[in-house]
C-alpha cells in the first residue's frame, strides 16, 4: 500500500512536468509542436532536470523504507532464533533434570535407618526400616525428643546415630545439586528468568517423594551439611517452598 502511494506520486509528478511545459509553451506562448530535434532535446533536458532529482528522492525514500522493513524482518528472525535456542536448551535441561529425579527416586527406595524396635520402649533391639517408613519413624523420634528436651544438638546427634552410613547426607546432596543446577543453568545470563526457575523448582518439588522432602526439611532444620545450608540461603527456592506450604520450620 505504501509503495503504491509512492508510485502514484511519481506518475503525478511526471504528468505535472509535461503538462506544465505544454501549458506554458503551447497555450500561453502559442508555440507549435516543433520538428527540430534540438528543440526536443531541450524538452528532454527540461524534463530530466526537474524529474531526476524528484524521482531520485522517491527512490531513496523507498530504499530507506525497504531497509527498515528488512531490519524489522531480521529482528523478528533473531527473536525466533533466540526462542528456538531457548526451547532447545530448556528441552535438554529438562531431560537431564528428570533423569536426576528418577535417579533420586531409585536411590530413596534403598534408603534405610537402624532404629529401636519400639519408639515407646527403651530397648536395645533395633530394626531396619526403608524408604518412607524410615522417614516416618525418624519424624516420630524427632518429635518425641523435641517434646522431651527441645535441644537441636541432641536431636542432630539422634539423627546421625540412626544414620551411621550418612545416607541422609547423600540424599540432601543429590537434592541440593538439582536445585543448584536449576539456579545456574536457568540463570538470566543463559536467557531465562525467575518464572522459568520457579516453574522448575516447583517441578522438582512435585516430582520428589514427600517423605524425601520431609527428610530434606528435617536435615535443613537440625544438620549442618553444606548442601542444606545452600538450600536455606537460596531465596528463590525457599520462596517456592513457602508457596507450596513447606519449610524446615515445621520441625
Residue with cell 505544454: 22
Beta carbons within 10 angstroms of residue 217's beta carbon: 19
Query: What is the predicted pLDDT for the residue at 113?
Result: 79
Query: What is the predicted pLDDT for the residue at 175?
Result: 95
Instruction: Phi first, then psi: give them for residue 124, nearest 5 degrees.
Output: -85, -15
Contact status, residue 186 vs residue 197, Cβ threshold 8 Å: yes
Query: What is the predicted pLDDT for the residue at 84?
Result: 86
Query: What is the predicted pLDDT for the residue at 35?
Result: 58
Tell me how far apart the alpha carbons of residues 89 and 190 are, in angstroms, rounded to a whole number: 9
Distance from first CA to last CA of the chain, Å, rounded? 70
Query: What is the predicted pLDDT for the residue at 63?
Result: 80
The tens-digit pLDDT sequence of the chain (251 residues) is: 555 666 666 666 666 666 666 665 666 555 565 556 665 566 666 666 666 776 677 777 778 878 888 888 888 888 888 888 888 989 999 999 999 999 999 999 888 877 766 655 555 577 788 888 888 888 888 888 888 887 888 888 888 888 888 889 999 999 999 999 999 999 988 889 999 999 999 999 999 999 999 999 999 889 888 988 999 899 999 999 988 888 766 66
Query: What is the predicted pLDDT for the residue at 44?
Result: 62
E strand or H helix at 238:
helix 235-243
User: What does each C-alpha distance from 243 to 83, 201, 209, 237, 246 come to in angstroms?
Assistant: 29, 11, 18, 10, 8
Contact status, residue 2 vs residue 65, Cβ threshold 8 Å: yes
Query: What is the predicted pLDDT for the residue at 54?
Result: 67
Query: What is the predicted pLDDT for the residue at 33?
Result: 58
Tell me how far apart the alpha carbons of residues 152 and 213 are, in angstroms, rounded to a whole number: 20
Amino acid at each position: 500500500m505504501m509503495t503504491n502511494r509512492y508510485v502514484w506520486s511519481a506518475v503525478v509528478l511526471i504528468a505535472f512536468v509535461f503538462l506544465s511545459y505544454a501549458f506554458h509553451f503551447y497555450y500561453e506562448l502559442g508555440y507549435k509542436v516543433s520538428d527540430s530535434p534540438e528543440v526536443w532535446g531541450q524538452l528532454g533536458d527540461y524534463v530530466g532536470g526537474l524529474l531526476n532529482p524528484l524521482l531520485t528522492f522517491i527512490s531513496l525514500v523507498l530504499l530507506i523504507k525497504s531497509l527498515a522493513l528488512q531490519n524489522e524482518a531480521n529482528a523478528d528472525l533473531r527473536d525466533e532464533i533466540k526462542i528456538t535456542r531457548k526451547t532447545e536448551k530448556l528441552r535438554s535441561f529438562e531431560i537431564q533434570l528428570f533423569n536426576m529425579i528418577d535417579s533420586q527416586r531409585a536411590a530413596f527406595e534403598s534408603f534405610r535407618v537402624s532404629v529401636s524396635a519400639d519408639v515407646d520402649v527403651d530397648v536395645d533391639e533395633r530394626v531396619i526400616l526403608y524408604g518412607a517408613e524410615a522417614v516416618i519413624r525418624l519424624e516420630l523420634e524427632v518429635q518425641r525428643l523435641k517434646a522431651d528436651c527441645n535441644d537441636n544438638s541432641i536431636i542432630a546427634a539422634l539423627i546421625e546415630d540412626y544414620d551411621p552410613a550418612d545416607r541422609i547426607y547423600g540424599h540432601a546432596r543429590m537434592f541440593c545439586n538439582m536445585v543448584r543446577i536449576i539456579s545456574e543453568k536457568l540463570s538470566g545470563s543463559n536467557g531465562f528468568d525467575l518464572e522459568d526457575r520457579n516453574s522448575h523448582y516447583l517441578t522438582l518439588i512435585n516430582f520428589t517423594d514427600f517423605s524425601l522432602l520431609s527428610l530434606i526439611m528435617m536435615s535443613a532444620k537440625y544438620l549442618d551439611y553444606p548442601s542444606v545450608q545452600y538450600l536455606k540461603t537460596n531465596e528463590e527456592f525457599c520462596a517456592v517452598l513457602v508457596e507450596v506450604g513447606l519449610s524446615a520450620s515445621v520441625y
